[in-house]
Amino acid sequence: MYTKILEESETLQKDLITWRRQLHQIPEVGMNLLKTSEYVQRKLSEWNIPFEVKANGSCVVGKLGTEGPCILLRADMDALPLSEESGEAFTSENGCMHACGHDMHTTILLGAAKVLKIHESELKGQVKLLFQPGEELMEGAKTLIGEGILTEPDVGAAFAMHVTSLAPLGMITYGKTPLSSVYGFEIALTGKGGHGSSPEVCIDPITAGVHVHLGLQELLARECPFGSEVSLTIGQFHAGDAPNIIPNTAAMRGTLRTFDDELAGKLIRRITEVSKKIAEAYRVQAEVKALYQGPVLVCAEEMNDLALSCVKKLGLDELVWDKLKGTGSEDFAYIAQKVPSTYFTIGASVGAPEEWISQHNPKVRFNEAILYKAAAIYTAVAFEWLEQQEV
């Protein structure tokens, strides 16, 4: 069966490349993915796969099988607000870009859907195909759980994969806690603007912001135990419009990531306290608000083992690393909180290692050679899990 799955997936490779490039040229961000959703709907309709549309039309949930246990296969579809610089012949031109590879994910799940449809009569249960918006915002999975994606029928397990541009081609990685929690925050600083020649009559929010930034870094050095797995980054700092004007306001945005919920709670409180107190010392008002938040991604060991067994049966286990633990974040974590789940990555690097470019970079490229292999893994995991439920 596994040899057949891999062979049938490989026969789709030319189609997979076409679908991926078409999706790559229509990137959409956040929870508004109407064009992408319509593309998926057309494909599922061609193959007579019934589906529901959720999230105001931006999510598609396909369904295979009619009764019995149910597994969910998930692919995220949203892009990033980046102007593409990859140099690909199929570059997007609308100011957005699939710089995280979600066009690859959507394509891979479409491939799995087509192969699963061929073998629908052999399924020992049901498969939900979740084409999801809003992963980059940490909103999609939580919203869709609220809209009932894990019920009617009840989902018993879930599987997701992510391509990575910084791993050898075809390398499979996974772990118990592969990705960290995340807390995104904004610090709004309000002072008193004026002419740069007279700082003494102004209250400078930029100076306060610089010291707030330094103070937040000290949280890692002086308030986290040795060996803590924590990352705190300020990725945005906006203030002012001219070199000779002290602005009224400044704004900073950042993220906190950790694998320890208790430590995360402490640091979230301290981010607010430190920001307000340091700003106060410079006569500036500081307000801290949460932008988004997501839990640690915790995978079920039995699901990790099941997915790995599928990779081996497909003969795709030449490069496997079982200690994936990174400070990226994933809203699939919300699904993993509800049902036993696993999350694998697959290497999709282009060229030699010195040429690899990180995801979320406007120059990043992904290797389409892994499309059919990843589609086969999705298909095999669905079959294997349903088979085991009969035992």
Q: What is the 3 state secondary structure string of the chain?
A: CHHHHHHHHHHCHHHHHHHHHHHHCCCCECCCCHHHHHHHHHHHHHCCCCEEEEHHHCEEEEEECCCCCEEEEEEECCEECCCCCCCCCCCCCCCCECCCCHHHHHHHHHHHHHHHHHCHHHCCCEEEEEEECCCCCCCHHHHHHHCCCCCCCCCCEEEEEEEECCCCCCCEECCCCCECCEEEEEEEEECECEECCCHHHCECHHHHHHHHHHHHHHHHHHCCCCCCCEEEEEEEEEECCCCCEECCEEEEEEEEEECCHHHHHHHHHHHHHHHHHHHHHCCCEEEEEEEEEECCECCCHHHHHHHHHHHHHCCCCCCEECCCCECCCCCHHHHHHHCCEEEEEEECCCCCHHHCCCCCCCCCCCCHHHHHHHHHHHHHHHHHHHHHHCC
Query: Measured between alpha carbons, how far is 336 from 299 in angstroms, rounded to an integer?
Result: 7
Same domain, 132 and 267: no
Residues in Cβ contact with 46 at an 8 Å cutoff, skipping those fewer than 6 apart: none
Answer for the pair 90, 24: CB distance below 8 angstroms, yes or no: yes
pLDDT < 70 regions, the chain: 390-391
Sequence-distant (≥ 6) Cβ neighbours of residue 210 within 8 angstroms: none
Same domain flag for 175 and 283: no
Task: Give pLDDT, residue 313.
Answer: 97
> Is 136 marked within a binding site?
yes
Task: Give whole-number Cα distances, 318 to 6, 29, 50, 312, 366, in Å.
Answer: 15, 35, 36, 9, 20
**Structural domains counted in the chain:** 2
Q: Is 24 marked as binding a ligand? A: no
Cα 21 from Cα 362, distance rounded (Å): 16
Residue 391's pLDDT is what? 53
Co-location of 244 and 271 in the same domain? yes
* Domain region containing 284: 181-294
Indicate whether 199 and 219 sit together in one domain.
Answer: yes
Say if residue 232 is in the same domain as residue 307: no
Same domain? For 205 and 123 the reply is: no
Instruction: Pick the last residue of a domain from 275, 294, 313.
Output: 294
Domain final residue pick, 277, 294, 311 = 294
| Closest CA relative to residue 231, chosen from 161, 285, 179 | 179
311-342 pLDDT per residue, tens: 999 999 999 999 999 989 999 999 999 999 99
285 and 309 housed in the same domain: no
CATH number of the domain that residue 144 is part of: 3.40.630.10
Q: What is the pLDDT of residue 261?
A: 87
Residue 146's region, left for phi above 0, alpha for psi from -120 to 50, else beta, is alpha
My answer on whether 158 and 225 are in the same domain is no
Please identify, among 294, 322, 343, the residue that sits at the C-terminal boundary of a domain.
Answer: 294
CB 325 within 8 A of CB 175: yes
Q: Judge whether 238 is annotated as a binding position.
A: no
Residue 102 among known ligand-binding residues: yes
- Tell me, what CATH number does 287's domain have? 3.30.70.360
